[in-house]
């Protein structure tokens, strides 16, 4: 049973499943797309994106993080997911190991497997806010490790990797000739401290691969614009692959992306402020439910509460069944933790209005209280 189908049957579903901003794309970005259409910017572009857009990505990354990428080290892709897919296809060979902290974003596992690689998961501890340390990564490295992935802030836990630990992870991987892919999809949605990029460390550009996305930062999920920042040879391999699959990302979206990156950035700060307000509300409400624990997310827009209090009760054996029952009986959609590699959690996206959050959390509270 899925939320969409229930809805089409007229059921009032509260949807905390979607991993995308509920805000509209800012108007200046939409206007840039309209101008692109009016100016007939509707043809093929270079496979890896327009030079204008690559320059805009490099400039934005420099402004935000102090990096120094050149357009030849940049590839525009059809969303951030596509950059990750291309990177894995370009770099991972059958038998290579890829280190992935858990809980992890679902796609990593499948793209690594598709490339013939072996996933090596690094479990993190909920009691410590799902914090990742260099020692935890080091313990999983073997002579077959090709690449390590860090996603900070994390989907699904909202955990942020401590800067000192991140730097140690970089040194560790660099010293062993291992690539480090940093997924910066949520890099602007950080509740404390300054966003930073591991790619800004001296010498990092040789082994660090940045997977970036405009989807969440600028509420542009449907426009499908992401990018990779990597050594020119890696970008070359990714571009070759892309030239025989999708070719360029949509020309109109590329023009909109230039405006997103070069135009006013206040919408990003406004979204972050709203996400913070919602985070505080959601975490407080979850913690009021007897038996539920919730680590405080430090970024992104997901809460990842431990709901083991209902597991093994009333026929609910795992979080997959829990999510199904919650949808069918309480009409709230959440994503089961099994999808992210842990078995006692569900993911709640708080990229939803306060009104929806209030309604949904009332329902979750009632459902868990009745089933625990
Ligand atoms: C951790 C993470 N990385 C990358 C992406 C890619 O987003 P997109 O392909 O929409 O740009 C997502 C989207 O949910 C994500 O959660």
Asked whether the beta carbons of 255 and 225 are under 8 A apart, the reply is no
pLDDT of the chain along its 372 residues, tens only? 588 889 999 999 999 998 999 999 999 999 999 999 999 999 999 999 999 999 999 999 999 999 999 999 999 999 999 999 999 999 999 999 999 999 999 999 999 999 999 999 999 999 999 999 999 999 999 999 999 999 999 999 999 999 999 999 999 999 999 999 999 999 999 999 899 999 999 999 999 999 999 999 999 999 999 999 999 999 999 999 999 999 999 999 999 999 999 999 999 999 999 999 999 999 999 999 999 999 999 999 999 999 999 999 999 999 999 999 999 999 999 999 999 999 999 999 999 999 999 999 999 999 999 998
Asked whether the beta carbons of 282 and 357 are under 8 A apart, the reply is yes
Gap between the Cα atoms of 301 and 75, Å rounded: 27
- Our answer on whether the CB atom of 215 is closer than 6 Å to any ligand 1 atom is yes
Closest CA relative to residue 116, chosen from 143, 103, 97: 97
Q: How far is the CA of 370 from the centre of ligand 1 (A)?
A: 35
- Our answer on whether the CB atom of 152 is closer than 6 Å to any ligand 1 atom is no
Q: How far is the CA of 212 from the centre of ligand 1 (A)?
A: 8
Atom of ligand 1 nearest to the CA of 215: 11
Q: How far is the CA of 210 from the centre of ligand 1 (A)?
A: 13
Write the DSSP symbol of residue 193. S
- Our answer on whether the CB atom of 151 is closer than 6 Å to any ligand 1 atom is yes
Closest CA relative to residue 342, chosen from 284, 276, 295: 295
Asked whether the beta carbons of 215 and 221 are under 8 A apart, the reply is yes
- Our answer on whether the CB atom of 338 is closer than 6 Å to any ligand 1 atom is no
pTM of the model: 0.96
- The pLDDT, as a whole number, for residue 2 is 81
Gap between the Cα atoms of 306 and 2, Å rounded: 22
- Our answer on whether the CB atom of 101 is closer than 6 Å to any ligand 1 atom is no
Asked whether the beta carbons of 289 and 369 are under 8 A apart, the reply is yes
Q: Establish how many alpha carbons lie within 13 A of residue 174's alpha carbon, considering only the half-sphere containing its beta carbon.
A: 17
């Amino acid at each position: 049973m899925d939320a969409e189908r229930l809805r089409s049957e007229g059921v009032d579903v509260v949807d905390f499943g979607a991993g995308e901003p509920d805000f509209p794309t800012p108007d200046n970005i939409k206007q840039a797309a309209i101008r692109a259409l009016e100016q007939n910017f509707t043809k093929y572009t270079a496979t890896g994106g327009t030079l204008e857009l690559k320059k805009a990505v490099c400039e934005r990354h420099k402004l935000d993080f102090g990096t120094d990428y050149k357009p030849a080290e940049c590839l525009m892709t059809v969303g951030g997911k596509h950059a990750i897919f291309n990177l894995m296809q370009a770099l991972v060979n059958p038998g290579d190991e890829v280190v992935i902290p858990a809980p992890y974003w679902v796609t990593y596992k499948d793209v690594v497997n598709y490339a013939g690689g072996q996933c090596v998961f690094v479990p993190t501890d909920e009691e410590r806010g799902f914090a990742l340390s260099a020692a935890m990564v080091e313990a999983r490295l073997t002579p077959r490790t090709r690449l390590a992935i860090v996603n900070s802030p994390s989907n699904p836990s909202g955990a942020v990797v401590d800067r000192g630990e991140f730097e140690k992870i970089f040194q560790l991987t660099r010293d062993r000739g291992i690539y480090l892919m940093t997924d910066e999809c949520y890099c602007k949605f950080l509740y404390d401290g300054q966003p930073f990029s591991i790619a800004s460390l001296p010498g990092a550009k040789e082994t660090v691969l940045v997977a970036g996305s405009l989807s969440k930062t600028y509420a542009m999920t449907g426009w499908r614009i992401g990018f990779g920042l990597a050594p020119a040879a890696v970008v070359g391999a990714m571009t070759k692959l892309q030239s025989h699959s999708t070719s360029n990302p949509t020309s109109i979206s590329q023009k909109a992306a230039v405006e997103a990156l070069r135009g006013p950035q206040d919408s990003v700060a406004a979204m972050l402020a709203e996400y913070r307000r919602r985070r505080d509300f959601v975490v407080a409400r979850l913690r009021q439910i007897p038996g539920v624990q919730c680590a405080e997310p430090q970024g992104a827009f997901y809460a990842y509460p431990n709901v083991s209090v209902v597991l093994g009760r009333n026929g609910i054996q795992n979080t997959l069944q829990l999510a199904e029952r919650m949808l069918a009986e309480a009409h709230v959609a959440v994503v089961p933790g099994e999808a992210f590699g842990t078995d006692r959690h569900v993911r709640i996206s708080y990229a939803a209005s306060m009104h929806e959050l209030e309604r949904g959390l009332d329902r979750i509270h009632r459902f868990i209280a009745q089933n625990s």
